[in-house]
Amino acid sequence: MRNWMSLQADFDNFQYRRNVYVFALKMSFLAVILSGVIIALTIPPLGFLGLLPVTLSHAIGFGAIFSWLVGGTVSGMLSLAAGFTMRELTLSRAEFEKLSRTDTLSGLLNRRAFTEAVDRIEGDASLVIFDVDRFKAINDRFGHACGDAVITAVSAVLTSAFDELSVVARLGGEEFGVIVCGEPLEERLERIQAVRARIAGRPIVAEGHHISITISGGVADFIPGRNKQQVYASADRALYLSKALGRNRVVHEREGLHHAWHGLAESRPDAEGRGLGSDNVMQAYGI
C-alpha cells in the first residue's frame, strides 16, 4: 500500500500510458483523503458550535460527496493533463537521446555510443575495426549516392551477422566498429572472417551499378584489467597492417607479427628496389 501511494515517479516511466493513468489515480486518491481529513477536522467543531446550516450527519455526507466529486475529479483531471505533458517531454527526450547516439545513414550506433559501450565491457570480448577498402575510389567512380548505398549495405550485413550480445557501430566515414562477445576467441574470429568473406562475395547493386566491395579488419581482445584505449589502439594498428598486407583480410593483434612483417617487407620494396626490412616497416607504419 505504501509503495502504491508513493508519489515518487521516474521521469522515464511516463513514456507508458498506463503509468500516466496510475499517476492521475494516485493524485485523485490523495486529494480525496486530504479532503476527508479536512472535513473530519473542521465539521465536528462547527457542529458543536452550532454553526452548521444542516445536521452534523448531513454536513459530513455533503462533505464526502464534495471531496469525491470535486476534489478527486478536479485533481485527477489536472494530474492526467500533467502526466501526458510529462509523457510528451519524456518521448521527446528519448528521441533526442536516440538521435544523439545513432548514425543517421546506417542506423547503427555512432562513435560516441560505441565509445561508451567499450568503456562498459567487462570480461573476455574482441574489438573489431572494419574499413571498406578503396571507398574513396567508389565515391569517385560511381558517385556519393552509391557510396551511401555501400555504407548501408555493409551496415545491414554487420547487423545481421552479429547477435544481440554484440555491439555494432559506424565510427565515421567507411569505418565500422564491432564488439563481439559471448563466444570463445576462435569462434569469434571465425565469425569475423565469415563476415569479411560474405561482403566480398556479394556485389552491391546501386544506381544501376554492380559494385564489388571488400573490407579489411583489425582485431584486439578485451582482457580483464587491460586498458580499453590500448585495446582500441591495438585493433587500429591491426587494421592498418591488414591494409598494408593487401586489404580484404582480417588481422588479429596476436597473429605472428614477425611473419606478417616479413611478408610486408617483401611486398613493399623501397624506391631503390630493396626490401624495407621488418624493423623499418614497423617504424614506417608506426607500430
Q: Return the active site residues.
A: 174
Query: What single-letter amino acid sits at 271?
Result: A
Phi, psi of 169, rounded to the nearest 5 degrees: -145, 155
First to last CA, the chain: 64
**Nine cell digits for residue 129:** 575495426
Q: Give CA–CA dist 120/89, Å, rounded.
A: 28
The total number of residues shown for the chain amounts to: 287
Residues 6+ apart with CB under 8 A from 102: 108, 109, 110, 113
CA dist., res. 222 & res. 235, Å (int): 10
Give the 3-state secondary structure of residue 275: strand
Q: Which residues pair with 216 in a beta bridge?
A: 131
C-alpha span between 132 and 153 (Å, rounded): 11
Helix (H, G, I), strand (E, B) or coil at 278: helix
